[in-house]
Amino acid sequence: MSRPDPQRRAWLRAGLAVPLAPASALAAAAPALPELPELAPPALTSAELARDNAYWGRVAAYYDVTDDVAMLDNGYWGSMARPVVAAYGRHVAEVNHGNAFYGRLRFPPEYEAARAAVARALGVERDEIVLTRGATEALQALIGGYNRLRPGDTVLCADIDYDNMITTMGWLKERRGVEVVKIAAPDAATATVQSLIDCYAQAMERHPKLRMMLLTHVNHRNGMVMPVAEITRMARARGIGVIVDTAHGFGQLDMRIPDLGCDYAGINLHKWIGAPVGVGAIYIRRGRVADIDPYMGEKDGGDIRTRVHTGTVNFAAYLALPLALELHARIGVANKQARLHHLRNRWVEAARGIAGIEVLASPDQRLTSAIASFRLRGKTSVADNVALSRRLLQEHGVFAVMRDGLASGACVRVTPAIFTQEAQVDRLVSALRA
């Protein structure tokens, strides 16, 4: 729901609908998660809890995920926990039963409650976000609508950025008449925080007409975490706008949007939060909405909701959001990050010692996420890595996927989830040794 429905506005004026609840009442509208004492983390530090397999086994019991394979492709989307699946089903039935009567009169305040819940989780205000169908839609709206560019300006993207976002950046040449520059980020295995900062600082020096750049918080190919706040600070000092892709950052890293120091961000809520598939968000810092054009002639009014027009939304997916966020908070994002890093480090450190395996992952924990990648040494083609991924599945029952686009070549990406067991990553290590 990207804008108020005109019919609903007419009904409101006529007194035929219940007015939107005030912001203070929106939180109360969200359904409460039932008491789940087994999900209350023990009194341990996050690092200690990361190795508590009994606790994470109880967490895993809340997820109905196939055991036909060792599922190590959890970066595509995140499975919903059983309570969220159940709530989603109830909401589907509710929406189907109420039809337009529900959709026009009762859904809008419930949507606002969900929007408020997302804003709280992100650490921003409700008027700074609007819900979308995912990070791709969010980022396309931000990049395509960014209007502070003039013909002859330069925009910047990198090999670690998401494919569709690189395409959208390229489209700005036709839309805005700008020059599009693509750089190669330092290799994940050798990158340091300073080398990443230097890479973007040098690009700013080389391109004095640079006016906007895309910056991926956690890239989907090798999982490297960028020092977004530091790079954004440099860019702002030069008058360069930064659009941040945090599709793989929010939800798996212990952070909130203000930590990034950015004015615009695309967010995914069905990857690491465990909401139903088809939910994301746009963030635009208060006071910067005018930098993004209203969507295809939408009437402006300075409302962030005019920056995207999804059309008729998946009502039930948005309604299940508050429950997914509450479950996420119950486990704790710092605990989730520690567990995911533990699983990632377990296979990465073992793989580094296997002859013939090239690990694409930083040893600096500040630059690491749940995601890391590998390939056979010298085997950098798409065909090589498609074959490697297929062999892992057919011979060892390990499901991981080929990723392409890095300047250094293709690789196989490994992504555990909070329901992944140590034995599943150990199966990957055994396969690599074989």
Q: What is the pLDDT of residues 22-35, one digit of tens each?
A: 333 333 334 455 56
Q: What are the residue boundaries of the structural domains of the chain, listed by start?
A: 102-329, 333-433
CA separation (Å) from 302 to 72, 108, 196, 292, 329?
A: 43, 19, 35, 10, 32
**Which residue type does 191 have?**
A
Per-residue confidence (pLDDT) for residue 34, from 0 to 100: 56
Per-residue confidence (pLDDT) for residue 5, from 0 to 100: 53
For residue 154, pLDDT over 60 is answered with yes
Confidence band of 299 (pLDDT split at 50, 70, 90): confident
Q: What whole-number percentage of the chain has pLDDT above 70?
A: 91
Q: What is the pLDDT of residues 334-355, one digit of tens each?
A: 999 999 999 999 999 999 999 9
Residue 70's H or E segment, with its range, is: strand 70-71
Beta strands in 264-348, from DSSP E residues, in sequence order: 264-268, 280-284
Burial of 199 (0-12, 13-18, 19+ CB in 10 A): middle
| 407 phi and psi angles, rounded to 5 deg | -60, -30
CA separation (Å) from 256 to 39, 120, 141, 208?
A: 22, 10, 21, 31
**CA gap 323, 131 in Å, rounded:** 16
* CATH of segment(s) 333-433: 3.90.1150.170
> What's the mean pLDDT when you consider all of the chain?
91
| 154 phi and psi angles, rounded to 5 deg | -115, 140
Q: Which two tokens stand for residue 380?
A: 């950098």
Answer left, alpha or beta for residue 302, where phi above 0 means left and psi between -120 and 50 means alpha. Answer: left
For residue 150, pLDDT over 80 is answered with yes
Confidence band of 13 (pLDDT split at 50, 70, 90): very low
Interhelix angle 82-101/321-331, nearest 10 degrees: 160
Q: What is the pLDDT of residues 163-194, one digit of tens each?
A: 999 999 999 999 899 999 999 999 999 999 99
For residue 413, pLDDT over 50 is answered with yes
Q: Which two tokens stand for residue 253?
A: 């890293």
Per-residue confidence (pLDDT) for residue 35, from 0 to 100: 60
Answer left, alpha or beta for residue 208, where phi above 0 means left and psi between -120 and 50 means alpha. Answer: alpha
| 152 phi and psi angles, rounded to 5 deg | 95, -15
Tell me if 133 sits within 8 A of 318, measured CB to CB.
Answer: no
- β-pairing, 398-399 with 70-71? parallel
Q: What is the pLDDT of residues 206-262, one digit of tens each?
A: 999 999 999 999 999 999 999 999 999 999 999 999 999 999 999 999 999 999 999
**CA gap 185, 126 in Å, rounded:** 34
Domain range 102-329, CATH architecture = 3-Layer(aba) Sandwich (3.40)
Per-residue confidence (pLDDT) for residue 297, from 0 to 100: 81
The residue with greater pLDDT, 111 or 42, is 111
Tell me if 226 sits within 8 A of 198, measured CB to CB.
Answer: no
Q: What is the DSSP letter of 221?
A: T
Tell me if 379 sits within 8 A of 20, measured CB to CB.
Answer: no
User: CA 275: distance to chain centroid?
Assistant: 12
**CA gap 107, 101 in Å, rounded:** 9
Per-residue confidence (pLDDT) for residue 17, from 0 to 100: 38
Q: Which two tokens stand for residue 282?
A: 């746009």
Q: Which two tokens stand for residue 355?
A: 């002859």
